[in-house]
């Protein structure tokens, strides 16, 4: 994953208003996804509903973001 270091993901206005984020390193968005998956699985399993939410949430970040290389 080191080849992702330094690449920026610029977030759309929705993320700026909702989460207070305007951009992040691409590697940070991947680690964020892993953290969310870990939290969802803290009870020993990730339910189908939890997994669907996680997938859709990560897709919304990737779909809406403009990458600046």
Whether the CB-CB separation of 56 and 30 falls below 8 Å is answered with no
**Which value, to the nearest 10 degrees, does the dihedral of the CA atoms of residues 32, 35, 36, 37 take?**
120
So what's the pLDDT on residue 68?
A: 47
Whether this model's pTM surpasses 0.85: no
Calculate mean pLDDT across residues 58-65.
Answer: 70
Q: What's the pLDDT tens digit per position in 15-58?
A: 888 889 888 888 888 898 899 999 999 999 999 999 999 998 88
So what's the pLDDT on residue 69?
A: 39
Sketch the domain layout of the chain as residue ranges. 2-68
* DSSP β-bridge partners for residue 23: 10
- C-alpha distance from residue 39 to each of 24, 25, 47, 67 (Å): 21, 21, 12, 27
């Amino acid at each position: 994953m080191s080849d992702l270091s330094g690449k920026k993901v610029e977030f759309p206005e929705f993320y700026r208003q909702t989460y207070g984020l305007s951009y992040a390193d691409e590697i940070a968005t991947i680690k964020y996804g892993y953290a969310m998956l870990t939290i969802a699985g803290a009870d020993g399993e990730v339910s189908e509903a939890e997994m669907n939410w996680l997938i859709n949430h990560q897709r919304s970040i990737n779909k809406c973001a403009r990458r600046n290389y």
